[in-house]
Amino acid sequence: MRQRPKGSSAKSNLSSEKSNKGDDDGSNVSKAKNLGVVVAGRSSYVILALFVLVIYGAWGVYHYQFENLPAPMSLEQVGKRGFSEHEAMKHVEALARLGPHPVGSDVLERALEYVAEVSENIRKTAHWEVDVEVDLFHAKSGVNNLVGGLFKGKSLVYSDLSHIVLRITPKYASEAGENAILVSSHIDTVFAGEGAGDCSSCVAVMLELARGVSQWAHGFKNAVIFLFNTGEEEGLNGAHSFITQHPWSDTIRMAIDLEAMGIGGKSGIFQAGPHPWAIENFAMVAKYPSAQIVAQDIFSSGAIKSATDFQVYKELGGLSGLDFAFADNTAVYHTKNDKLQLLKPGSLQHLGENMLAFLLHAAASSSLPKDKAMELDVEATNDQAIYFDILGTYMITYRQRFANMLYNSVILQSLLIWTTSVLMGGYTATISLVLSYLSIILMWICSITFSSIVAFILPFISSSPMPFVSSPLLTVGLFGAPALLGAFTGQHIGYLILESYLSRTFVVRRRTVPASLQASVAKLDAERWLYKAGLLQWLVLLMVGNYYKIGASYLALAWLVSPAFAYGLLEATLSPSRLPKPLKTVTLLIGMFVPFVLSSGMAIRLSATIIGTSIRFVRNPGTNPEWMGNIVIAIFIAAIVCLTMVYLLSYSHISGAKVSIIVVTSVMFAISLGAVWGGVVPPFTEDTARAVNVVHVVDATQTGGEKLEPVSYISMFSTTPGNLIKEADHTGKGFVCGTDRYLDFVTFSVNYSCWMDKNAETGWVESDIPAIRVQKDIKGESRETQILIDTQVSTRWSLGINTQEIEDFQLKDADTFEELISLGEKSGVDGWHTIQFSGGRNAPTKFNLSLLWIKNGTQRTNEDERNERLLLRLRTDVDRLTPPVKDVLRKLPPWCSLFGKSTSPHTLAFFSSLPVVL
């Protein structure tokens, strides 16, 4: 039998496809199957199920990684050598029961007495082969001149600080006393809260650790020093005084600092190094490891305006080590809500067991670094550790040198693959690559735009610009839903542009594909390009992170390699045809599993931390627009969405889920916005309070050489965005709110506040007003002015010195003539150098200030007239509740709390000044 030629058969089939519609359906399906092509489409139920899986999976990872705390243990359960949360909680309760105990208060003395008493009991019950020494260390005056971060342009002076130092050494290890591990935290609190979290919880953990370590130390090769310092809240003064004045400080080889940025939860490492020994050995022995170098990257970048004692130990002491912090519920930080009732069970057990295991390992080790970090060679100090935990169960560490090799290898291979693919694909592949990356750009633009619009809207529809602080889940609907909708919209626009281009090019590139299938093939090809564009996005981030040596670059590696591996395994190498097919769902699941486990819980944690810190977002009240804090949160959430959803969104464009995605996200947004608009969810609660400061101000500022009568009034301002009209009306005290009364608190300024004059003359006397007297003014080519400063009843004050007029200065104790600040180069910020002084009850109150003027100094011309003629600006703080302030605080809404920090005043503040023209 004669066979027909294959060519004529193909032509005949193509001809019949064009001429017969009925045959067209059957022959095209058959031909599609032969060519390995599947019609473009995906079940909408699959896509929606994937979104549900992502949401619930992320929450599950977060819960397991950050909220899975160990059960509290009793002393009977752990024995005398273990760590018991029940015992530690007794210390927290005792310290919190005292109430706020800031530096200079009588309550702080009682807190010191309690810690000293417990330390003495530890000494008496220690193992007989162990020496326990308790030193009640009284620090002399000193000045902290750290220049980085918060300390730029400042001199932090302290006096009359008391610390308790407990050293545990084995009796029969002769060199142990010269090689010590320091464990440090602070007893003092801010004036606004009892400090159950910050940092009575840390002190309690240290006391219980000391008890346990004192029973183990007979096998140690190194000593362990526990430092319970005071003055941390006033500028890290306790750590500074110990490092510079205590004789045991020279024996320290490693420092561990315990801190709190909230209350309870898992205490994680957020700073480590610079030497990698500590973090690497912690990873080996910790029972419940919790550490993320992402937090270190954020903290060291200056994005979080804070500092810990670890900075002193690292920069001034040249030490390496670990910095731990409780970070749950950061909204309570330095407010009245830092209280015992909010401390989660298991929090202390988690930190205590981790620390005990590490101390036992480190103190018994003969490989403890003997040289201080700053004395190590350059190669060693640059080889820092990259670290992160996996679900709070396992911990990964590796050196920066290995990271460089790994990242460079992946980057080079990726660039080689992309370059080869583009070259093989020619001009069409190049254009497709550009258009696919355009979809990424559009995704970011639309996502940020959609969420930012909401940020602008909220101040107009809510009583608070940040209505989500007490209910962080609201941000999922307010910012997460618009961000996801925007990301999908932007990527879909890019998808349509790419699909249109690919459809036009199929006529030239793939003539053998039936015309009726070209549209489907173009859609499938566009989907694959979008998936690969996600890979390219993470490749760019990996390159940037590798260049700047960002520790968190391991996340970019995971989000690049794992999806790329899944794609190559299931799509490229196993695909039976050169023509595209719908991306397999298993490709997405396998590709996202590892990066999802590594990053989803941490993304939620960081979001919660940023939301919690929004109650203290504004450093200078009234200077930022009300929407500024919302913008920060909106952009952060949009970035999380764009980074983590890029692969999943690429699966959605050929499915029937597009309408469902739009509807669901819109409904979520509408419900959340309606809850805010209708006031269903209060922005603040009694347990999540808004930071509101009430200060009795006595202003005796001089201008133009004219001495004015003191002006007294009650001022109310907030570091939380939004006006104070609702809070002011709630007091019923007739507060007037606005920007008419500018307040210069030396360390910060207040543009927006509320004020009242009623009964403002009570609670203070004129003798409380600080005095600035010129003792001698020698004019000439080198002008020098001698000034006496008398702060009267205040041992906490701030002095601004005009560095556009003054070149240098010296500060001395007027009674003892002890030099507190010596002559030398001084830094300034905005034309001012600030002295912040804090001390105990016996700290000096009279000081001699010598000013050396700049030769031919010029007056300021571009600044506010209110400060133009001032040479010195002085604010003294008194921790005293005057009758009008007490009355206001009593009637202030329960969702408000005083907020304390080193730069903020106490409840009574006096202003004084000295003009440039003396």
pLDDT at 173: 84
**Which residue ranges in the chain fall short of pLDDT 50?**
1-38, 374-381, 574-577, 859-867
**Helices and strands of the chain, counted as H and E runs:** 24, 27
700 vs 702: CA distance, rounded Å: 7
Q: For the chain, report the end-to-end CA distance as a whole number of angstroms.
A: 121
Q: 64: helix, coil or strand?
A: helix
Amino acid at 396: I
Find, among 892, 888, 885, 890, the residue nearest to 906 by Cα: 885
Q: Residue holding tokens 């705390």?
A: 69
Question: Chain-wide mean pLDDT for the chain?
Answer: 90
Question: Are residues 144 and 120 in contact, defined by beta-carbon separation less than 8 angstroms?
Answer: no
Question: Are residues 716 and 693 in contact, defined by beta-carbon separation less than 8 angstroms?
Answer: yes
The CA-based dihedral angle spanning residues 415, 416, 419, 420, taken in that order and rounded to the nearest 10 degrees: -150
Where b means 16+ CB within 10 Å and e means fewer, 128-137 reads: eebbbebbeb
Question: Are residues 178 and 219 in contact, defined by beta-carbon separation less than 8 angstroms?
Answer: no
867 vs 677: CA distance, rounded Å: 42
Length of the chain (residues): 918
Amino acid at 591: G
Question: Are residues 160 and 840 in contact, defined by beta-carbon separation less than 8 angstroms?
Answer: yes
Backbone region of residue 334 per phi and psi (left: phi > 0; alpha: psi in -120 to 50; beta: other values): left
pLDDT at 365: 94
Of the chain, the percentage scoring pLDDT greater than 90 comes to: 82
Q: What is the pTM of this model?
A: 0.92
Structure tokens at 836: 């912040």
Instruction: Judge residue 584's burial from the number of C-beta atoms within 10 Å of its C-beta, 0-12 exposed, 13-18 middle, 19 or more buried.
Output: middle
Looking at 514-552, list the stretches that DSSP marks H as alpha helix, in order from N- to C-terminal side: 515-547
196 vs 334: CA distance, rounded Å: 10
Q: Residue holding tokens 């941390």?
A: 232
Where b means 16+ CB within 10 Å and e means fewer, 411-428 reads: beebeeebeeeeeeeeee
Question: Are residues 833 and 799 in contact, defined by beta-carbon separation less than 8 angstroms?
Answer: no
Structure tokens at 408: 């460079």
* β-bridge pairing 896-897 and 806-813: unpaired
Question: Are residues 876 and 908 in contact, defined by beta-carbon separation less than 8 angstroms?
Answer: no
Residue 388, strand partner residues: 292, 396
Amino acid at 339: K
Looking at 462-480, list the stretches that DSSP marks H as alpha helix, in order from N- to C-terminal side: 474-475
514 vs 507: CA distance, rounded Å: 10
Q: 453: helix, coil or strand?
A: helix
Find, among 224, 236, 311, the residue nearest to 271 by Cα: 311
77 vs 83: CA distance, rounded Å: 9
359 vs 286: CA distance, rounded Å: 10
Q: Residue holding tokens 């190049």?
A: 430
Find, among 380, 398, 379, 378, the residue nearest to 388 by Cα: 398
Backbone angles phi, psi at 697, to 5 degrees: -100, 130
